[in-house]
A and B are shown apart, each in its own frame.
Chain A
Amino acid sequence: MGRRPLPPVPAIIPLSPPHLSFAMKSRILRLTVAVGLILGSALSTRAAATKLVVAFLPKSKGNAYFISCKGGAEKAAKELGVELLFDGPTDSNAAKQNEIVENWITLGVDVIAVAAENKEGISTALRKAQKQGVKVVTYDADAMPDARSFFVNQATPEGIGHALMDDAARLLNQEGEFAMITATLTAANQREWQKYIEARLKEKYPKMKLVAVRPCDDLKDKAQSEATALMSAHPNLKLIMAICSPGVPGAAEAVKQAGKTGKVKVIGLGLPNENRRYVHEGVTDSVILWNTSDLGYLTIHAGVALAKDQLKKGAKEFTAGALGTFQIQGDNILLGKPFVFNKANIDQFNF
């Protein structure tokens, strides 16, 4: 099979050190080959895999949000009897996502489920996968529509944007300054949400003012320094809205340390577990999120159904195991309405 073109070997061998005799060299060579062969065969799993293989790509694999998605995905994989591969960059890195997808293609996986860090960038790799017969679904953040079959939509960007903005307006009585913290300025879904938040603001809340938007690179520490700077730069700031999950506890910690609990409110998209402490202390008023574990569960179900030809383009509904039936809008499978976690209900959730 594929012999990779090695660097210019012949240029080196004739010049090899004179004191290594030919016999000795060939012995080293034979030894090398033998070591490779023996170790290789010992670890080799040549038995043909019989299970469907589903590969699940998060934006960054340490992020608690995706870890809880993975929990649901594992549950679904167990139920359906498929093998689940979970891998992703440790930091949010678009180029690494492409490399991982290309690796999966040559590994011959059946389904690839992707949360896209960069919409256009990942699509080149996904189109290649589709060309080779791999089924592609996206979740959390979509790729280009032609690069996947379905997008498992946790909530429409419109729904998220409006929910956040309305919540902010409720807390501020529809007037005052607020600021936003996003993950990176390049992430497609963050930009989309931001767009709807700004549109809603313009349309319904003329007395409120968005004074700044800061990226936190999906790092909690960075979100904290950004929030600290925002509060001192804008003394009239009433609220910080963080639309990435590490941003909410980061902003809350900054508000708490600045002693402005209650004076500057924090809301955002975040996981109950990361924010529980701040919600109880009254620093963070509420966090909005969908059930991330269900998102993973639904994604795997959709991917497997696609591979088994049980889910086709144009379907109106999709039934995913224990979770029941979900609506399909165009090629978006809708997870449902976002949920608001606050002091009253946050202790009922553990993810």
Chain B
Amino acid sequence: MNRYFRELSVTGALAIILLGLAAFAPAFFQPQPLLSLATREAPTLIVAGGMALVIITRQIDISVGSQFSVSGICAGLLAARGWPLPLVLIAAISIGALLGALNGLLVAGLRLPSIVVTLATMVTLRQGLNLVRQGEFVNLPDSIQWFGLSQAAGQWALVIFTLLFTVGLGVALRHIAAGRLVYAVGTDAEAARLAGISPQRVTFCAFVCLGGLTGLAAMMNLVQSPQIQPLSGQGMELKVIAAVVVGGVAISGGRGNLWGALAGLMLLACIAPALTHLHVEAYWEKAIQGGIILLAVMADGWRARKGGR
């Protein structure tokens, strides 16, 4: 109980909101809108999985939004040129991984602080993209819509894939040696080094994973609509970091897991539609999200103090 306090409390908060909605706005629970909501949030969840990896190794990446835009636009341009879907998918993931590798190289290779490195790459990538594209939309061919499936099938496929992937990643993180390395490095890099692990290599891999997953997420976003906007990833970094942290992944590294991140993301993602259904004005959305983040970290703080005594 104690060990998973944070994950349980977030799940509890989510359950309370869902129960409240069931009581006051049962219209929220219709299969089609819920499926749409899940489909729209699926790419964010994939990125959140990668972000959890990076934060567990005690780093952070605030350039994911820019990586998302860049890989999305590049993939979109390739698709518009008639590249077949599998190749576009591979290209999106590789571009993401490459951008992640750049961050990883600077952070792990040169031992620079990740928050500043990714701040710099965030600005550089975003402005570079704006410079080249001038904010223009890319029109996508019909053939890659929903991976060529029908819409309903595409939506189910995306959601199920995302859930399976998250579960898989979560299990791998806990039970496979490579996953445990991540925790080892985040808990105590020096101890990990003495145990024969290269913290640098693990950190680098975490960044590459996050980049690749961001590319994958961009692709999952791409197939959902006939046009792609260069601003599509703007603000994603904060949403993803907030979801991961609310879900109980400690920013000081070494602690947290993916089902916490899943619950955290669901909690934050439910707020906007919940407000619409409860007929509360949408302007409170950001303030409420901020409040939830603060409550989550305060819960951490209080527990740490109690535990410390």
Contacts and interface: CB of A to CB of B under 8 A. Distances in A.
A64, A219, A221, A231: residue with the most chain B Cβ atoms closer than 10 Å:
A221
B283 to A, nearest CB: 8
B116 interface: no
A228 B232 contact: no
Given A60-B135, A67-B136, A253-B225, A259 B32 contact: yes
Contacts of B30: 232
B61 to A, nearest CB: 22
Contact of A257 (B137, B151, B273, B277): B151
Interface in A202-258: 212, 214-215, 219-221, 224-226, 228-233, 235, 246, 249, 253-254, 256-258
Interface stretch (B33-41, B80-88, B180-188, B256-264): B33-41
A61 B227 CA distance: 17
Contacts of B276: 212, 214, 226, 229-230, 233
Contacts of B137: 62, 64, 274
Contact of B227 (A215, A220, A228, A257): A220
B32 A63 contact: no
Contact of B225 (A220, A226, A229): A220
A62 B134 CA distance: 6
A90 B135 contact: yes
A229 B277 contact: yes
B272 interface: yes
B36 A257 contact: yes
B238 to A, nearest CB: 15
Contact of B273 (A63, A229, A277): A229
Given A62-B136, A228-B33, A274-B227, A233 B151 contact: no
A122 B196 CA distance: 61
A214, A220, A228, A277: residue with the most chain B Cβ atoms closer than 10 Å:
A228
B229 A220 contact: yes
A224 B36 CA distance: 10
A215 B225 CA distance: 20
Given A232-B33, A254-B36, A61 B28 contact: no
Interface in A249-298: 249, 253-254, 256-259, 274, 277
Contacts of A62: 130, 133-137, 229-231
Interface residues of B, number: 32
Contacts of A91: 231, 234
Contacts of B229: 62, 219-221, 246
Given A67-B136, A90-B135, A228-B33, A233 B277 contact: yes
B43 to A, nearest CB: 11
Nearest to B34: A232
Contacts of B231: 62, 90-91, 219
A64 B36 CA distance: 26
Contacts, number: 86
B282 interface: yes
Contacts of A229: 33, 272-273, 276-277
Contacts of A63: 135
A276 to B, nearest CB: 10
Nearest to B136: A62
B226 interface: yes
Contacts of A231: 33
B27 interface: yes
B225 A224 contact: yes
Contacts of A212: 276
16 contacts: A62-B135, A62-B229, A64-B137, A215-B282, A219-B229, A219-B231, A221-B232, A226-B276, A229-B33, A229-B273, A230-B276, A232-B28, A233-B27, A233-B28, A233-B277, A258-B32
In the complex, the 3 A-B pairs of residues with the closest C-beta atoms, listed nearest first: A62-B135, A232-B33, A229-B276
Given A62-B137, A228-B40, 16 more contacts: A62-B231, A63-B135, A64-B137, A91-B234, A220-B225, A220-B229, A221-B232, A225-B37, A225-B273, A228-B273, A232-B30, A232-B273, A233-B25, A253-B225, A253-B226, A254-B36
